[in-house]
């Protein structure tokens, strides 16, 4: 019998209360993440590259979609953006692209979008089903024009972590161009709440919750992750030895 990462999460949910506490439990991390290479290999080789995560019916949406991790960046810059309903917020797209972009929230909302009702699986062991609406990431990357040397997409966020640095995450181009990978601006038919990552967050549905970067400010195309902070591709990967690939 293969014990899936999702099964481990569900079993752990009864005893684990948060990512910070979980980060201290090395034995659990080793069990949870030791199968990283297997899960990546299985998703990339046994499933179709564009195989979809399960999508649910509207009546299965969770009554509450809790905020988790950072629930308010609470910086002066973010407060100013929030007070003005994010009218002055811009998403920067740069790095290994042929055309740098600076996109407002209103511009993103006018682009072709996708809606999907999917389950969010947190590393803590809880899950919730929500209806997301957003722009496919591939639409933005196609608009910017990736250079041939680009291999990864890095997401820079507004929330400041315990290290004093903003949150960051990354995915490879296979996940970046997956049809369910979107930049979400609405949850359950309402604009994103601050607790859920307003004004824009990543949804990469075949990976765990810590990969779903919130409070997006910048998207950067790179050829390597070694120059991004600690070099492992994400905040929790650098600071708590989480695996970079968190497929479920």
Q: Which residues have CB under 8 Å from 220's CB, separation 6+? A: 93, 94, 95, 153, 154, 156
**Separation between Cα atoms, residue 241 and residue 123, nearest integer Å:** 13
Percent with pLDDT over 70 in the chain:
80
Average pLDDT estimate for 130-148: 98
pTM, full prediction: 0.84
Contact 14, 125 (CB under 8 A): yes
Average pLDDT estimate for 44-71: 87
pLDDT band of residue 17 (cuts 50, 70, 90) is very low
Q: Is the pLDDT of residue 1 over 50?
A: no
Q: Is the pLDDT of residue 32 over 60?
A: no
Right CATH for 5-240 from 3.90.420.10, 3.30.70.20, 3.30.300.30, 1.20.120.520:
3.90.420.10
Average pLDDT estimate for 33-45: 57
Q: Is the Cα torsion angle 27, 248, 201, 187 positive or negative in sign?
A: negative
Average pLDDT estimate for 181-205: 98
Q: Is the Cα torsion angle 171, 177, 179, 184 positive or negative in sign?
A: positive
**Separation between Cα atoms, residue 6 and residue 68, nearest integer Å:** 18
Q: Is the pLDDT of residue 44 over 90?
A: no
Q: Which residues have CB under 8 Å from 40's CB, separation 6+? A: 245, 247
Q: Who wins on pLDDT, 31 or 247?
A: 247
pLDDT of residue 2: 36
Domain edges within the chain: 5-240
The model's pLDDT over 210-228, given as tens digits with 9 standing for 90+, comes to: 999 999 999 999 999 999 9
């Amino acid at each position: 019998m293969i014990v899936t990462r999702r099964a481990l999460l569900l079993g752990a949910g009864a005893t684990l209360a948060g990512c910070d506490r979980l980060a201290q439990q090395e034995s659990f991390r080793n069990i949870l993440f030791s199968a990283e290479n297997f899960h990546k290999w299985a998703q990339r080789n046994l499933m179709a590259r564009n195989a979809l995560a399960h999508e649910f019916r509207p009546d299965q949406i969770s009554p509450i979609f809790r905020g988790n991790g950072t629930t308010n960046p609470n910086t002066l810059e973010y407060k100013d953006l929030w007070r003005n309903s994010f009218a002055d917020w811009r998403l920067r797209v740069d790095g290994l692209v042929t055309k740098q972009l600076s996109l407002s929230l209103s511009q993103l909302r006018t682009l072709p979008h996708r809606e999907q009702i999917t389950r969010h699986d947190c590393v803590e062991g809880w899950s919730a089903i929500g209806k997301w609406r957003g722009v496919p990431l591939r639409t933005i990357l196609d608009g910017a024009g990736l250079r041939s040397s680009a291999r990864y997409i890095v997401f820079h966020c507004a929330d400041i972590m315990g290290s004093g640095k903003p949150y960051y995450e990354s995915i490879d181009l296979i996940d970046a161009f997956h049809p369910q990978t979107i930049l979400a601006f609405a949850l359950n038919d309402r604009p994103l709440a601050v607790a859920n990552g307003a004004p824009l967050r990543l949804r990469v549905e075949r990976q765990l919750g810590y990969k779903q970067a919130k409070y997006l400010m910048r998207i950067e195309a790179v050829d390597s992750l070694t120059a991004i902070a600690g070099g492992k591709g994400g905040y929790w990967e650098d600071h708590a030895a989480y695996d970079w690939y968190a497929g479920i």
